[in-house]
Amino acid sequence: MTFQPTPRQLSAIKAALFLLTLLPALYYAHGLWSDSLGANPIEALTRGMGIWTLNFLFLTLCVSPLRKLSGWHWLLRLRRMLGLTAFAYGCLHLLTYLWLDQFWDVDAIARDIWKRPFITVGATAFLLMLPLALTSSHAAIRSLGGKRWQSLHRAVYAVAILGVVHYLWLVKRVALLDPIIYALVLAILLGWRVVERIRLNGPWPTRSTPPAVQPVVFMKRDAAAALGIPKKR
Amino acid sequence: MLIRRPPDLLPSEITPEPLTRGRRALLKGLGAGAALAGLGLPQISQAGSLGTLRPSPLSSDEKLTPLKSVTGYNNFYEFGTDKEDPARHAPGRLKTRPWTVTVEGEIKRPRTFSIDDLLKLAPLEERIYRMRCVEGWSMVIPWVGFPLAELIRQVEPNGQARFVEFVTLADPQQMPGVRSPLLDWPYVEGLRLDEAQHPLTLLAVGLYGEVLPAQNGAPIRLVVPWKYGFKSAKSIVRIRFVREQPRSTWMKAGPSEYGFYSNVNPAVDHPRWSQATERRIGEFIKRKTLPFNGYADQVAGLYSGMDLRRFF
């Protein structure tokens, strides 16, 4: 069963999704306001923003598999919003750390990033997200060219891996269950991509047999549609 | 019938509702009137169900952490690893009566104490202590208890006793966390004998004037205010006097992260985070962490000549 929303339906879906992306932030804002985040609200907030960064990153990574499995190619049109939401929560997570944890103490922050592997990893993940967020506009895609844009945006895999490592490294050994679940989900999301690639290209892409990189062909034919850009009329 | 209202009732004279509830729970638990008389419950008083408590010159005069936070934000992995888990799972599950604490090892008078023996062992005092968790947060808690030194005096350690080991309850029936191998159960902690005998070291049986809530380590726990919170073992069932330094549960779980001494020390970081500052629960700006959690004047002498980086 394929479902193809009309442009109006797609706008409605996007608007609804946008409201949904605000829900975690509203939950935490309300929790701070009503003092219902427990005895250590700042820690709860920092953790919450971090977890939702990962959640939205994972949702972003779900788009391609879901699209393939369902044939709902329009899902791609939601991917940018999910990715930018992940970035927004990442910014809030970083902000809680810089402000509420370190109170803008530059020396302490520099020491922390240098000395503590989980902070180093988190900071790296954030830095890698920056260029992706900055090149998310139609104009950026056009000026980079679809192919280069796509290779740049493969960095999202590194961001997700670093994000999960950051989470694994931060918790005490006894509380590893949650980050391990995240690691498994990520393994499935990335593993699916590896399997897909092998299925399309064979296990050993060699120079003599140019790999039939179908996404590239697809992009040439209709790069704009592949990237979710509405066609110009 | 004419109901007379007492004139000018000050808000401060009204017992806060959580305290009343705790008191009622205790009364229900105790049942017999004889037991009430034994504990010396006052008829009407600001003091809670543990009776009138001796104030202590060792108490801090800092602002107390609200009862709700003290009893709602706990690390007690026997009941789960979330801070809210102990408050959710411990009350009602943890059976604190009957309860015995076996004291054994290198002592002249080994003995098993019932919880009632312990409550009568020494006059109960209120001790307001800072509590610094290794995770970087802190509280100010009005404990009720008596110095561990009093118990040690009664059991008379022999010349061989150099360390004291505390073994805590690990009953999978009552403690859901113990069913999974998070840590090497039972939870074990240890002190050097002189640390155990220090006047600051407390066996706590209550807080905020009331019987210790289950999630805080009922019915009896250790409180060592100059060490990170995990050293203060909860729900103790066995105290052993030994020759060799005990290996605590956290030393086994992470030898590079948790040492035997675990004195609060802003200069020695946890491998994964700084210990220079702490968030006092309820406060916005972080505080600087003090050496020995602010008890350096009383306890620094215990460690003179020791490299506290090595013996962390």
Q: Looking at the predicted structure, is the pLDDT value of residue A73 above 70?
A: yes
**Which tokens sit at B3?**
């109901």
Query: Across all residues in chain B, what is the average pLDDT?
Result: 88
pLDDT of A159-175, one tens digit each?
A: 999 999 999 998 877 78
Q: What are residue A105's phi and psi, to 5 degrees?
A: -80, 100
pLDDT of B191-250, one tens digit each?
A: 999 999 999 999 999 999 999 999 999 999 999 999 999 999 999 999 999 999 999 999
Q: Looking at the predicted structure, is the pLDDT value of residue A192 above 60?
A: yes
pLDDT of residue A215: 46
Min distance B175 CA to chain A CA atoms (Å): 16
A166 contacts A53 by C-beta, under 8 angstroms = no
Q: Which of A68-72, B8-12, B73-77, B114-118 has the lowest mean pLDDT?
A: B8-12
- pLDDT bracket for residue B44 (50, 70, 90): very low
B232 contacts B203 by C-beta, under 8 angstroms = no
DSSP code, position A229: P
Of B72, B254, B273, the CB nearest to A39: B72
pLDDT of residue A220: 44
Test B69 with A39 for CB contact under 8 angstroms. yes
Instruction: Give dist(CA A73, CA A61) in Å, integer.
Output: 14
B50 to each of A113, A193, B39, B144, how far by Cα in Å? 48, 64, 7, 8
**Which tokens sit at B61?**
């005069």
Residues of A in contact with B182 (CB under 8 A): 174
Number of H helices, E strands in chain B: 9, 12
Of B73, B81, B272, the CB nearest to A40: B73
Q: Looking at the predicted structure, is the pLDDT value of residue A221 above 50?
A: no
pLDDT of A129-188, one tens digit each?
A: 999 999 999 999 999 998 999 999 999 999 999 999 999 998 877 788 899 999 999 999
Of A38, A101, A111, the CB nearest to B83: A38
- Expressed in angstroms, the distance from the first to the final Cα of chain A is 29
Q: Which of A177-181, B12-16, B108-112, B144-148 has the lowest mean pLDDT?
A: B12-16
B288 to chain A: closest CA residue: A102
Question: So where are chain A's domains?
Answer: 7-226
Q: Looking at the predicted structure, is the pLDDT value of residue B120 above 90?
A: yes
Crossing angle for the helix pair A177-201 and A155-170, to the nearest 10 degrees: 160
**Which tokens sit at B210?**
């009331």
Nearest partner of B193 among B151, B242, B227, judged by Cα: B242
Test A39 with B83 for CB contact under 8 angstroms. yes
Question: So where are chain B's domains?
Answer: 16-52, 56-303
A180 contacts A165 by C-beta, under 8 angstroms = no
pLDDT of residue A227: 55
Residues of B in contact with A39 (CB under 8 A): 68-69, 72-73, 83, 281-282
Is A42 touching B (CB cutoff 8 A)?
A: yes
Of A40, A116, A175, the CB nearest to B281: A40
Min distance A36 CA to chain B CA atoms (Å): 12
Mutate which: B182, B283, B285, vs A, most A CBs within 10 A: B182
CATH level 3 topology of B56-303: Sulfite Oxidase; Chain A, domain 2 (3.90.420)
Q: What are residue B129's phi and psi, to 5 degrees?
A: -120, 150
